[in-house]
């Protein structure tokens, strides 16, 4: 089995926590799960490892992890499930945004929630916590296999429940038989603390069309109301995967 790390942080006790996904167990049709592991700061030994997901599809994946204001771990990603009328296979599965609250000392699952606005695709890539304890998650959604992948942002409370009735979604669409896909990869809070900044890309899909992505930035207020959208069109491929206000 191979472990693929998607994110790593240092916790307040000085140790490290990594999150990602596994390649799958032998004899299990190579169906992997998401994982979180805590690593000792002094000698690199593993203090604990826990796996998350159902083994129903190929890759349940955890994309981002943080330590919340109560010193619990919050991990988000994609909980895979079969698409309607299809079985799961390598590289193709539907899914829900996967939210986990985990005890940092033991790895015990405190809360496990899944969110999807439809029966097809939803997944989370990035997360941060607001001062009131709620969480902002950025990722993508897709309504069905004939629709475009769209950028999405959710707000969840401390128990992983939806605060906004629906996620904010961007401008991913089909137009003149072309599919314009979007995805949020990074998030930040504005300096004034009253707006969310999301960043990622827009890409024209299809093997017969140019596929170089353009970097995108979106802003919405803390109620999920859109403030502005910017697209940065320059030659070559552009995408924003990390944001820093330093």
150-167 pLDDT, tens digit per residue, is 999 999 999 999 999 999
Please tell me the predicted confidence (pLDDT) of residue 238: 54
Q: Please report the pLDDT score of residue 89 as a whole number.
A: 65
* Angstrom distance (rounded) from CA 98 to CA 78: 5
| Measured torsion, CA atoms of residues 108, 129, 225, 228, in degrees rounded to the nearest 10 | -130
Residue of 230, 180, 228, 232 lying closest to 206 (CA atoms): 180
At residue 125, does pLDDT exceed 80?
Answer: yes
State pTM to two decimals: 0.90
Considering only residues 100 and 204, tell me which one the structure prediction assigns the higher pLDDT: 100
At residue 244 the predicted structure's pLDDT band, cuts being 50, 70 and 90, is very low
pLDDT at 87: 73
pLDDT at residue 56 in the model: 74
- pLDDT, greater one: 55 or 27: 55
User: Residue 92 has what pLDDT?
Assistant: 72
Largest CA distance in the chain: 58
Percentage of the chain surpassing pLDDT 70?
88
Q: What structural domains does the chain harbor?
A: 55-232 (2.115.10.20)
Per-residue burial over 25-63, b = 16 or more CB atoms within 10 Å of its CB, e = otherwise: eeeeeebbbbbbbbbeeeeeeebbebbbbeeebbbbbbb
Q: How confident is the model at residue 208 (pLDDT cuts 50, 70, 90)?
A: low
* Segment 19-33 mean pLDDT: 70
* Residue 204: band (very low, low, confident or very high) from pLDDT cuts 50, 70, 90: confident
pLDDT average, residue stretch 93-100: 93
**Confidence (pLDDT) at 17:** 99
């Amino acid at each position: 089995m191979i472990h693929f790390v998607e994110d790593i942080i240092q916790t307040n006790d000085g140790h490290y926590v990594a999150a990602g996904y596994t390649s799958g167990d032998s004899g299990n049709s190579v169906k992997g799960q998401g994982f979180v592991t805590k690593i000792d700061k002094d000698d690199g030994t593993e203090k604990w490892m826990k796996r998350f997901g159902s083994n129903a599809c190929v890759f349940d994946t955890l994309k981002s992890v943080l330590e919340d204001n109560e010193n619990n771990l919050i991990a988000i990603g994609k909980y895979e499930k079969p698409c309607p009328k299809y079985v799961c296979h390598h590289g193709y599965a539907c899914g829900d945004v996967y939210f986990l609250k985990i005890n940092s000392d033991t790895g015990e699952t405190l809360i496990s929630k899944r969110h999807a606005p439809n029966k097809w695709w939803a997944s989370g890539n990035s997360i941060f916590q607001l001062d009131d304890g709620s969480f902002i998650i950025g990722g993508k959604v897709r309504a069905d296999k004939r629709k475009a992948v769209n950028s999405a942002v959710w707000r969840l409370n401390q128990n992983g429940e939806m605060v906004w009735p629906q996620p904010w979604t961007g401008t991913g669409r089909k137009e003149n038989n072309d599919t314009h896909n979007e995805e949020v990869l990074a998030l930040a809070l504005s300096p004034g603390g009253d707006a969310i900044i999301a960043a990622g890309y827009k890409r024209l899909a299809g093997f017969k069309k140019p596929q170089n992505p353009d970097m995108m930035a979106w802003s919405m207020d803390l109620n999920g109301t859109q403030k502005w959208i910017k697209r940065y069109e320059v030659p070559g491929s552009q995408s924003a995967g990390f944001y820093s206000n330093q």
